[in-house]
Each structure stands twice: as structure tokens, then as C-alpha cells.
Amino acid sequence: MTNRVFVTGLGMVSPLGLDTTSTWNSLIQGISGVDHISAFDTEGFETRFAAEVKGFDPTDYIDKKKARHLDRFAQFAMVAVQEALWQAELDMTKMDPTRAAAIVGSGIGGISTLSEQFQVLKERGATRVSPFLIPMMLADMASGQVSMAFGIKGPNFATVSSCSSGAEAIGTAWNMVRRGDVDVAVAGGAEAPICPIAVAGFNSCQALSRRNDDPKHASRPFDAGRDGFVMGEGAGILVLESLESVRRRDAHVLAELVGYGASSDAFHVTQPAPEGEGAARAMRLSLKAAALEPQDISYVNAHGTSTPMNDKFETMAIKAVFGGYAHRIPISSTKSMTGHLLGAGAALEAAISVVALQKGLIPPTINLEHPDPECDLDYTPNVARQLQLHAVMSNSFGFGGHNSSLIFRAISDLG
């Protein structure tokens, strides 16, 4: 006997807004969060734009002294967790803190702090490197800081699986609640990679778009003119609860998390497996866990990175899993507006999928102007679509061959 697992709270910090409402409103209007980079001087860089979080002041949410000792990715996580707990009306002081988990994934953790401190080392010497470098750069520090800030005394760790990190955090938390290890889990991802070394590194492996003359149209998933992904930053957090916890608190439920599947390509460090074979296996595993058929899925939030190989192979994977239904199911890539948040992308997109399920609205794939013959499915081009949704799938795939798929279902009853 396993527990049912429900989503009771969401938190978002994104290039489209500092909370869930502002992010969602921009998404359904088809607004791009991409612009020229303001975080550092990009002269000499092949890519000079990204999807930055704008107008973010951590001291609006976190004590000033505390905020100084947190890398930007951990600041994002703290703010998203605050919103998610507020929406869930969950006060950790009124429950057993050992029955709660904090799992916050990140692909590259505090790389901005690391980048800054390398410069300090070079210019000022070893003795001037910050004593906070190590605790600020570690990928587990978002979950650690969340645990300390909110008194969460159960399992506390980070999942690190590149662009699948946030989905793996949510899937791992789902399994913990299902097994009865915890009653509540705060789970998702956070990332703040917009710094010189990260941009230079992704440019060197030919991953980023170079559309410097037109940043807002650079992220164009499934379009024939796509030339690479657009780096983004932010956080997405879900509060997951068991049925017993929901009933005990009389909590408002947003959706039920019913499926999670993970697989490995075992193929290449950056390229997806041929024809999306690994991605297809993750989708099939999530459907099996959810006890659903492909035709039960109303919408797919695609990984859709705007890279030539990913979009082509994800399309092939969807066709392999959904068969003839693949041409009828609505799909979209919200990365066309948010950019790619790396380890936080999967978590933000999971949260977006929950809101889509609630609102009966599918966010568009913007900048889809020149259809690619090899990407011939319904990607909800440029305009949001209203449609009653029963179950949604959120896909995430990462460097290293990591594949993950989550399925959320609308609530009919709590049994």
C-alpha cells in the first residue's frame, strides 16, 4: 500500500517574475524573458544575452546579513520555498519537523560565487578568498539553507543530474512520501549560472544560441531556425503532501503527482541517444507508475531546449510513446520564454504544468515561425490555448544522458 501524493503549494522565481502569478501571466501572454546580459561585461563573448531574473533584491525576503552569505541560486530557492509554503498554508512549527524533507536540485550550484572568488584569488591572493566560498558554492546548500530556515529535520539533500535535477528532486520526494518516510516534502530546483565562466563554457561546447542581434527571438524550440539554448536562472518549488497530511490539515490541493520515470541514455556526455530512445523510456516509466495510457495525457510540457538535436529527438520520442495520438496531443516548450534554467528548469516547468492543469490553459511555444519538417507535432505555436486538462506530463533531459518525466493529474476526489 502506497500513499497518494498531492501538490499543495508552488513557488517560482523566474526571468518572467518573482512569484507564481507574475510568471504565469507573462507565460500565457507569450512574453520573452530574454535580453542582453546585465550581470557582467560580455565584450568578447560569443553569446551576450540570457534570461536573467530581473528586479530581484534578496533583502526583500531574507535578512541582509544572511543574504550576503548565500549564493544567488540559494537565494532563489529560499524565496520560492517561502511562496510555496505560504500558498500551502503550511507552518512547520505546527507539525513534526522530522516528518518533513527538503530536496532542492541544482546542476552547478554556486558557480557565480566560485567564478567571483577565482578572480579574487588571481587579483588579491589566496588569503583574501572568502571563508564563505565553500558553503556558498556547494550544490547542496540550497536544500541545507532551506532546512535551517524553515526547521525541516527530515531528509535534506540535493539531486545533481544536470537539467533533470529539479525533476529528480520532485520524483525522489514523491517516492519518500509514497513510502511513508515523510508526510511533507519541499522539493524542486534552483540555479544561477549567468556568470562569465558558465557562459564561456557553454559557448565552448557549442550549446548556446548566438543570436545576439535579436535576443528575444533566440529561444525558438522546434523551429527550423533554432541554433542553441538560451541560459536562464531562477527556482521552482513544490510542496508535496500525503493524503493523511492533507486531510489532517484540511489543506487545499492543487494537483496529484501520480507518475515519475527516470532513465539513462548511456550514450554521450552531451548528445541525446539516437531517436530519443532514453527519453521515450522515461515517459513510458512515468505512464506505468501513474497507471495511465498515453491517450490519458492532455498536454506535454516538453523539454524543448531550442537545440537542433534535442528538439528533433524529443519529437521522435513522443511519437514512439504516443503513437498516432502524438499528432493530436498539445505540446509546448515554456523555455521559449523563460530560457533554460538548467537544474532548475525541470522544477519550474513542473510547477508551470500544475498551474496549466488548474487553469485549463496551455502556454505557447513562442518564436515558432518556420516549422521544421522533422518537428511536425502540435507545439501550441505563439498563442496560449484554452483546453480542459486531465493529466499533464513534464519532460526533462540533461547532459550525461539523464532523462526524467513527471505526470500530474487533476483532482476529482480525495478518496
Task: Give the integer Cα–Cα distance in Å for 406 and 287.
Answer: 9
Q: The C-alpha cell of 214 is what? A: 535579436
State the amino acid at position 134 in one-letter form. Answer: I
Task: Give the integer Cα–Cα distance in Å for 372 and 109.
Answer: 35
CA atoms within 13 A on the CB side of 390: 10
| ∠ CA 408-221-163, rounded to 5° | 55
Q: Out of 195, 252, 303, 390, which one is annotated catalytic?
A: 303
Q: Out of 163, 195, 375, 402, which one is annotated catalytic?
A: 163
| ∠ CA 228-231-147, rounded to 5° | 140
**Cβ-based neighbours of 304, under 8 Å, separated by 6 or more:** 221, 222, 310, 311, 314, 331, 332, 333, 334, 335, 336, 365, 379
User: Active site includes 205?
Assistant: no
User: Active site includes 217?
Assistant: no
Q: Out of 195, 340, 375, 402, which one is annotated catalytic?
A: 340
User: Active site includes 163?
Assistant: yes
**Cβ-based neighbours of 177, under 8 Å, separated by 6 or more:** 3, 5, 183, 184, 185, 240, 241, 242
**Catalytic positions:** 163, 303, 340
